[in-house]
Homo-oligomer: A and B are copies of this chain.
Amino acid sequence: MHHEQHLKSSDTIRDIVIGMSDGLTVPFALAAGLSGAVNASGIVVTAGLAEIVAGSIAMGLGGFLAGKTEMDHYRSELKREYEEVEKVPEVEKKEVMEIFADFGLSEPLQQQIADEMARDKDKWVDFMMRYELGLEEPHPNAATKSAATIGLSYAIGGIIPLSPYFFISSANTALGYSCIIGLLCLFIFGYLKSKVTGQPVWSGAIKVAITGALAAGAAFGIAKLIGAH
């Protein structure tokens, strides 16, 4: 089928992208900022790891709760649609007709569609869920898996540009290496992200790297400013 060309990335890849986008950027930028104010790698590492732990939990658990909420929402809407189809079938049929009226189909045809669809209640409800409410049934274990993927991606992304501070006690010296590693990782990540989402790869890579550079530069500037007082 020619339509398989329509690229759509999987949920796992989406979660890795979500976690790693922020994971590669924020701890890196925080470390850079702190290096502008204190020259002790020990403090930078402590703050960096605290940030990574906090960020992983906030994003991971956030992803988990969002997934649970999506599931609850789907179930309550599904229940409501079944009730409505049972209690006010004529109203629901009108809603089916309205959907097709919007696409310019004639009224007799709208009526025919609504009548035929009403024969199978499960499929009718499925239609209303998808096309009236725009809701797809979420996977049952999606929330847990999504939480773990986002949290882990954030942590991995965060550790890499922080690593020079583990080995070099002068934060100012480590900063140089961290910038090289961090921006390189962001560039590669931006390239791969654009590739899987079917976007132009080089401009994608540059955009992601610039975001990281801006965040690190701004964090460095603000920390330097406060440190001077």
Contacts and interface: CB of A to CB of B under 8 A. Distances in A.
Contacts of A112: 109, 112
Contact of A21 (B62, B77, B130): B62
Contact of A50 (B29, B77, B123, B127): B29
A68 B219 CA distance: 25
Interface in A188-219: 197-199, 207-208, 211-212, 214-216, 218-219
Interface stretch (A41-49, A137-145, A168-176): A41-49
A4 to B, nearest CB: 12
Contacts of A103: 117, 120, 123-124, 126-127
Given A211-B58, A214-B61, A50 B117 contact: no
A223 B62 contact: no
Contacts of A113: 100, 105, 109, 113
Contacts of A216: 54
Given A77-B6, A131-B131, A53 B106 contact: no
A89 interface: no
Interface of A: 2-3, 6, 21-22, 25-26, 29-30, 33-34, 37-38, 42-43, 45-47, 49-51, 53-55, 57-59, 61-62, 65, 69, 72-73, 77, 80, 84, 88, 91, 95, 100, 102-106, 109, 112-113, 116-117, 119-120, 123-124, 126-127, 130-134, 197-199, 207-208, 211-212, 214-216, 218-220, 222-223, 226-227
